[in-house]
Amino acid sequence: MAFAFTFPDVGEGIHEGEIVKWKVKEGDTVKKDQIVAEVETDKAIVELPAPESGIILKRYLKEGEIVKVGQTLLVIGKKGEKIPTFTEEKNSQLKKSNTVMGVLEEAGQETTFKVKTESKPLALLVVKALARKLNVDITKIKGTGPQGSITAEDVKNATLGTTKEESKTAKVTKKYDMYGYVERIPLTGIRKTIANKLTTTFPQAHVTHMDEADVTHLLTLKEQAKNKKTHLTLAPFIIKATILALKKHPYLNATFNGEELIVKKYYNIGIATDTPDGLMVPVLKIADQKTLIQIAEELKILIEHAKKRKIDLADLQGSSFSITNIGSIGGTYFTPIMNPGDVAILGLGRRTEKALVLNRKIEIRNILPLSVTFDHRILDGAEVARFVNDFKQFLENPETLFR
């Protein structure tokens, strides 16, 4: 027997909505609770789950058309089953109940079929997955969602032996809060990965130490070291100075598993890279064994691959320390967030010219702002300050970087 799926009363004073997207077409096979359509109202975006498994025998509205509460959206039945037709008058008279018998008319004769809004509590697929994960029997939960549907909170409460009252079958996403209308932008792809990854840093005790380095002499040497084949930026020199400072302060080149500090004897430097899809951190492996030219060439390839989304997953893993740079965009000091697994990160700000007093004379110098965020569970401020002092010494006496 075919089921007519009607647009349910989703509350919030919603009486009608526009079908913005069909997720299924006629002839498709759907499973119970599979999302079949998105309906947008002036107050919410509603995702409608299929009330039964079966074949989509008929869709009654097109995308862009208006559907009213109680109006039939589609008919679900078995393959080869005859598709009934019905009058709009009788369709509008369908009563809201768990199971409704609607009267259909075909070729002048009346045919009855089951119109189902819901005969038992529903749950979205993500809610069912949560129930399986928590080992909760979803059939024994009294749903507090729309028309008795089971919500994620119902499942969580079931593990505590508690229940809570709520609202509907369809998933309703409000387009407003208590102050006015809002736009909701779901996190997807790289941005969602970044968000999930960075939540793992919350247990760390973040502290940021700030200073500045005089890179006037380094810029002069960089110009003298120009390579015809490879464009040398400041980045290779920064990486070299970082490694030399890490060798003097190995606790910054480590990871902490909650019980022990694991000091790494290799130097894999993560380079935070701004890409069209969000921040990525390609890792320059065994950087201490590479020359300035080799670092520059490999870094160029890693960054290009990251920006074009061609980078290998292995090139995004294994960092022992990371560097991030906002200087090319703007800003001076900031509080960078550690790459998960690291216990410290170096942040570089915008290089500027400043008037400094040197040997009782005022000189214009090139100054590079530095910010080092570290895990205070592992490192004390004094040790990080000593690291920064040594890092500055290497930058301000760059001859050591060419060794």
HEC-encoded secondary structure of 250-268: HHHCEEECCCCEEECCCCC
- The pLDDT, as a whole number, for residue 99 is 33
Residue 197 confidence class, pLDDT cut points 50, 70, 90? low
376 is catalytic: yes
User: How many CB atoms within 10 Å of residue 330?
Assistant: 8
Torsion angle of the four alpha carbons 237, 241, 246, 249, in this order, in degrees rounded to the nearest 10: -170
Q: Above 50 in pLDDT, residue 165?
A: no
Query: What are the distances in angstroms from CA 350 to CA 7, 328, 347, 372?
Result: 56, 6, 10, 15
Comparing 12 with 101, the larger pLDDT belongs to 12
Q: Which residue has the tokens 């002036």?
A: 42
- The pLDDT, as a whole number, for residue 85 is 63
Phi, psi of 246 (to 5 degrees): -65, -35
- The pLDDT, as a whole number, for residue 364 is 95
DSSP 217-240: HHHHHHHHT--SSS---SHHHHHH
Q: Which amino acid is at 338?
A: M
Average pLDDT for the chain:
81
Query: For residue 12, which of 34, 51, 40, 50 has the smallest C-alpha distance?
Result: 40
- Among 35-49, 143-157, 206-220, 339-353, where is mean pLDDT lowest? 143-157
Contact residues for 87 (Cβ-Cβ < 8 A; gap 6+): 105
If you count them, how many residues does the chain have? 403
Average pLDDT of 5-17?
77
Q: Considering just the CA atoms, what is the radius of gyration of the chain in Å?
A: 31
Comparing 108 with 295, the larger pLDDT belongs to 295
3-state secondary structure of 93: coil
Query: What are the distances in angstroms from CA 374 to CA 261, 268, 288, 335?
Result: 14, 17, 22, 10
Average pLDDT of 251-255?
93
- The pLDDT, as a whole number, for residue 163 is 44
Query: For residue 366, which of 350, 377, 378 has the smallest C-alpha distance?
Result: 350
Measured N-to-C along each axis, helices 381-396 and 216-224 cross at an angle, to the nearest 10 degrees, of: 40
CA distance 325 to 312: 22
Q: Which amino acid is at 359?
A: N
Q: Above 90 in pLDDT, residue 81?
A: no
- In order of their start, the domains of the chain are 3-116 (2.40.50.100), 204-402 (3.30.559.10)
Comparing 69 with 171, the larger pLDDT belongs to 69
287 neighbors 297 (Cβ within 8 angstroms): no
3-state secondary structure of 67: strand
Q: Residue 145 corresponds to which tokens in the numbers above?
A: 């969602």
Q: Which of 16-20, 95-99, 130-134 has the highest mean pLDDT?
A: 16-20
- Among 8-22, 101-115, 143-157, 278-292, where is mean pLDDT lowest? 101-115
Q: Percentage of residues in the chain with pLDDT exceeding 70?
A: 77
- Among 43-47, 252-256, 360-364, where is mean pLDDT lowest? 43-47
Query: What are the distances in angstroms from CA 314 to CA 43, 262, 289, 319?
Result: 45, 21, 19, 11
CA distance 218 to 402: 11
- The pLDDT, as a whole number, for residue 369 is 96
CA distance 79 to 28: 10
Q: Residue 186 corresponds to which tokens in the numbers above?
A: 């779901």
Q: Above 90 in pLDDT, residue 272?
A: yes
Q: Where on the phi/psi map is residue 347: left (φ > 0), alpha (ψ -120 to 50), or beta?
A: beta
- The pLDDT, as a whole number, for residue 250 is 94
Q: Residue 352 corresponds to which tokens in the numbers above?
A: 């500027």
Residue 109 confidence class, pLDDT cut points 50, 70, 90? very low
* Catalytic residue of the set 206, 217, 305, 376: 376
